[in-house]
C-alpha cells in the first residue's frame, strides 16, 4: 500500500509518500526555523500561518518526487496530535479534504507513534519487543514497544522535555534557537568534566525524567559567574549536555533491563545529538544490547514516519471520520 503522510504538529510542514510502511518514495520538509529564530522559540500563530502557506506546495512536491503520481496513492495518514492545535488543524484539515475528495481511506495518528516507527524506515530495524526512548523538544518518554501500534509507556518527563532544556539553555547562553544542534556543536570544543551539573535520576525504580533542575543549575552558574561565564560557554555546554545524556542513557538501559529486552531504540529530535548517539552505542555494547537509531533526517519531525505508522493502522482496518478532530496533549498511555 502506498500512503501519503502529512505532518504539521509544530514548526515543520511535511509530506511524504511511503510504500508498505518501510520504503520512502519521497519526503519533503519545509522548516520554519528562520521565522521563529528571532523569538527564541516557536510562536504558535506564526507557525499556523506558515503551515497554511506551505501545505499545498509541500504535498504537491512530495507526490511529484515520489514518481508514482496521485492516482497511485492508496491511503492518507496525518498527525492528529499531540502538538500545537492551530498547526495541527492545517495538516489535519487538508488530509481530511484530500482523502474525502479522492475517496481514499485515511487515518489520524499519534505523532509519538510516528517517532517510534521511524526506526523501520531504514535497513537496520529492530525486532519486537524493544524499548524506545523518545526524546524531543516537547516529549521525553520511555516505551516498551510490542508491535507497530502497541506499546506501553514506562516513564515520562515530569517537567521540561530534554529538547526543551537544550533550547532554554542555548537561549540563556545567547546562542540562539533551535538549541539542540547549537549546544551539540559548541560542546565539541568544551570539557564535559570541567563544570559538573546535577543529574536528576529521581529514584532507581522510576523511569520518569526531570530536567528543570539542571536548567536552573545552568542559570544559577551564569548568574554567579556573570563577568566570566561567556569565556566558559563551550565548557558549560559540554557539562550540561553530558548531564542530560547520562540521565537519558542510564534510564533507557535500566528500563530495557527490567524487561529483559536486548533491543533498544532512540528516536525523536534529540536522537540527532552526536554525544547521545555515541554514548548510547558505547553503553549498549557493554551491556550486550543492540541499538537502533533513525537516520539524522528522520529524527526530527517528518511525514515519512507518519505515513509509516498510518500504513499499519490502515492495514488493520482503522479509519478516521469527517467528524474527527485534533488533540493538543496525550495522557499517560498504554496501547
The string of pLDDT tens digits covering residues 107-162 is 999 999 999 999 999 888 999 999 999 999 999 999 999 999 999 999 999 999 99
Residues 259 and 143 in one domain: yes
Residues 77 and 218 in one domain: no
Residues 103 and 133 in one domain: no
Q: Is residue 334 part of a domain?
A: no
State the cell numbers at 172. 540563556
Residues 106 and 137 in one domain: no
Domain holding 188, by residue range, is: 124-293
Q: Is residue 78 part of a domain?
A: yes
Decide: pTM greater than 0.75. Answer: yes
Q: Is residue 330 part of a domain?
A: no
Kind and range of the H or E run holding 111 = helix 111-117
Q: What is the CATH number of the domain that holds 288?
A: 3.30.420.40
Residues 102 and 175 in one domain: no
Residues 254 and 282 in one domain: yes
Question: What gap in Å lies between CA 4 and CA 16, rounded to an integer?
Answer: 6
State the cell numbers at 52. 497554511
Q: Is residue 101 part of a domain?
A: yes
Residues 20 and 164 in one domain: no
Cα torsion through 303, 308, 312, 315, rounded to 10: 80
pLDDT category, 271, cuts 50, 70, 90?
Answer: very high
Question: What gap in Å lies between CA 255 and CA 86, rounded to an integer?
Answer: 35
Express as a percent the part of the chain with pLDDT over 70. 99
Residues 133 and 226 in one domain: yes
Residues 3 and 73: beta-carbon distance below 8 Å: yes
Residues 219 and 284 in one domain: yes
Residues 137 and 283 in one domain: yes
208-217: per-residue pLDDT in tens?
A: 999 999 999 9
167-226: per-residue pLDDT in tens?
A: 999 999 999 999 999 999 999 999 999 999 999 888 778 999 999 999 999 999 999 999
Q: Is residue 261 part of a domain?
A: yes
Q: Is residue 100 part of a domain?
A: yes
Amino acid at each position: 500500500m502506498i500512503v501519503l503522510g502529512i505532518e504539521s504538529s509544530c514548526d515543520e510542514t511535511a509530506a511524504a509518500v511511503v510504500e508498505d510502511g518501510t520504503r520512502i518514495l519521497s519526503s519533503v520538509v519545509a522548516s520554519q526555523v528562520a521565522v521563529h529564530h528571532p523569538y527564541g522559540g516557536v510562536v504558535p500563530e506564526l507557525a499556523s500561518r506558515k503551515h497554511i502557506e506551505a501545505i499545498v506546495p509541500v504535498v504537491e512536491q512530495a507526490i511529484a518526487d515520489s514518481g508514482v503520481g496521485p492516482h497511485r496513492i492508496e491511503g492518507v495518514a496525518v498527525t492528529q496530535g499531540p502538538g500545537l492545535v492551530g498547526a495541527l488543524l492545517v495538516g489535519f484539515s487538508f488530509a481530511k479534504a484530500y482523502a474525502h475528495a479522492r475517496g481514499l481511506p485515511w487515518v489520524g495518528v499519534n505523532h509519538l507513534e510516528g517517532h517510534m516507527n521511524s526506526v523501520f524506515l531504514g535497513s537496520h530495524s529492530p525486532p519486537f519487543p524493544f524499548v524506545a526512548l523518545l526524546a524531543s523538544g516537547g516529549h521525553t518518554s520511555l516505551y516498551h514497544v510490542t508491535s507497530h501500534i502497541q506499546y506501553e509507556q514506562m516513564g515520562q518527563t515530569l517537567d521540561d522535555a530534554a529538547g526543551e532544556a537544550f533550547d532554554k539553555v542555548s537561549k540563556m547562553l545567547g546562542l540562539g534557537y533551535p538549541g539542540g544542534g547549537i549546544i551539540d556543536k559548541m560542546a565539541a570544543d568544551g570539557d564535559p568534566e570541567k563544570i559538573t551539573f546535577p543529574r536528576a535520576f529521581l529514584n532507581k525504580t522510576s523511569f520518569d525524567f526531570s530536567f528543570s533542575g539542571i536548567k536552573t543549575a545552568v542559570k544559577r552558574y551564569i548568574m554567579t559567574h556573570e563577568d566570566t561565564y561567556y569565556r566558559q560557554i563551550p565548557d558549560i555546554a559540554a557539562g550540561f549536555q553530558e548531564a542530560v545524556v547520562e540521565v537519558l542513557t542510564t534510564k533507557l538501559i535500566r528500563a530495557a533491563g527490567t524487561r529483559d529486552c536486548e533491543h533498544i531504540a532512540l528516536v525523536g529530535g534529540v536522537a540527532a545529538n552526536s554525544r547521545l548517539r555515541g554514548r548510547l552505542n558505547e553503553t549498549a555494547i557493554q551491556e550486550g544490547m543492540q541499538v537502533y537509531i533513525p537516520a539524522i533526517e528522520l529524527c526530527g519531525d517528518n511525514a515519512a514516519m507518519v505515513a509509516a505508522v498510518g500504513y499499519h493502522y490502515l492495514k488493520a482496518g482503522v479509519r478516521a471520520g469527517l467528524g474527527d478532530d485534533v488533540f493538543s496533549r496525550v495522557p499517560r498511555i498504554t496501547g
